[in-house]
Amino acid sequence: MNPQGVLKGVAKTALGMAVVRAHESLRGDRLFDDPYAQRFLDAAPGAFPGQSASAEDLAAMGPSASLGALFAFHGVLRTRFFDDCLLAATAAGCQQVVLLAAGLDARAFRLSWPDGVRVFELDLPEVFAFKEAVLDGLGAMPACERRTVPVDLRAGWAGRLVAAGFDRAVPAAWLAEGLLLYLTADEVTRLLSEVGELSTPGSRLAFEHGGIADPAVLAQARGMPTLDEYTPLWRGGLGEDAPGRLGRNGWRPHIHDRAELAASYGRPIPGPSGGGFLTATRTGR
Ligand SMILES: C[S@@+](CC[C@H](N)C(=O)[O-])C[C@H]1O[C@@H](n2cnc3c(N)ncnc32)[C@H](O)[C@@H]1O
C-alpha cells in the first residue's frame, strides 16, 4: 500500500492519532489498548519521517516540549474518556453509535459492546480506502455490527447515514473526536444541527471543549515542527459558548474538566491545563 498516495491533507491526521494510540498501548500503565494502531502505522512506513509522538522524543524538543507532550497526552486522555462515554451510553440504551470522523478509530473492534449495538463510522472515502485494506488484511472481526459510511461531513452526509441503516427513532451516541477544529464555525453549526435532527430524546453527544483549542494554545502550536502538517488545516471549530448553544437547541450539556479526569485516571497532565470535554444528552428534537 502507498499511504502517501491515499492519506493526504486532513485525511492524514487520522494516522497521527494512530501514532499516539500505538505509543500509549505499549505502556504498562496504559489507559487503553489499541493493537490496531501499530498495524495501521506498519502499513504506512515513512509517513512521518523523523517524527515521533513519544513523550521521550517530545521531551527532547526543547521549548515546545511541554506543549507537544500536552497534545499527545490529550489524544490519550480523550481516547480513554470517549471509550468510557460510548460504553456508558450503550449500557444506558443507545443502540446506535455514530463516530463522526472515525479516522483509524478501532473501537468497533477493541471495545466490548452490548449485544445488538450498531456502530457507524463516517469519514472521507480515502480514509476508508486505507483503513479497510489494513483491517481486511488482518482478518479483523468487529465486536458489534459495524457499518462504514464514506462521506464529507460538510454536506450531504445525513442521508447517507440513514441509507446505511441509521434509525432516527432509536437513541444514538454521537462522537465528534478530533474533528471540529478542522471545520469552520458555520460547518460545525450545520453539522450539529443535522445531528440534532437525527437525535431522538435520550441520544448523547460528545466532543472536545476549550483548553487545547484556546486561541493562545493554538497560536503556540502553530510554531511546533511536529504539528506543522496539521496546523495549516485548522479552521477554528465551534468557537465559544458550545454549552449555551447546545442548551438552546435541545441538548442538556455537561463539561468534564481535563485535569480532573486525568487525575481520576491516575495520570496527571504534563503541562498547562484547562478545558476538557463536553457531553450532552438530547432532551427534545
Ligand atoms: C485528527 S483525525 C481524528 C480521527 C479520529 N476521530 C481519532 O480521534 O482518532 C481527524 C479526522 O477528521 C476527518 N475529517 C476532517 N474533515 C472531514 C470532513 N470534511 N469530512 C469527513 N471527515 C473529515 C479526517 O479524515 C480525519 O480522519
Confidence category of residue 212, pLDDT binned at 50, 70, 90: low
Rounded distance, CA 61 to CA 259, Å? 24
Residues in the chain: 285
Cell 437547541 belongs to 249
Q: What are phi and psi of 99, to 5 degrees?
A: -95, 100
Whether 81 is in the pocket of ligand 1, judged by its Cβ within 6 Å, is: no
Tally of CA atoms within 13 A in the half-sphere of 249 that contains its CB: 19
Query: Per DSSP, what are the bridge partners of residue 257?
Result: 276
CA-75 nearest atom, ligand 1: 8
pLDDT digits (tens, 9 = 90+) for 5-46: 578 888 888 998 999 999 999 999 999 999 999 999 999 987
Nearest CA to ligand 1 atom 13: 101
pLDDT digits (tens, 9 = 90+) for 183-199: 998 999 999 999 999 99
**Model pTM?**
0.92
Q: How far is the CA of 94 from the centre of ligand 1 (A)?
A: 23
Q: Which CATH superfamily is domain 80-282 in?
A: Vaccinia Virus protein VP39 (3.40.50.150)
Is pLDDT of 79 > 60? yes
Give the torsion sign (CA, 257, 200, 95, 37): negative
Give residue limits of the domains in the chain: 80-282
Substitution site in 10, 85, 131 for ligand 1 pocket (most atoms within 8 Å of beta carbon): 10
Is pLDDT of 259 > 50? yes
Q: How far is CA 66 from CA 69, 70, 257, in A?
A: 5, 6, 19
CA-99 nearest atom, ligand 1: 6
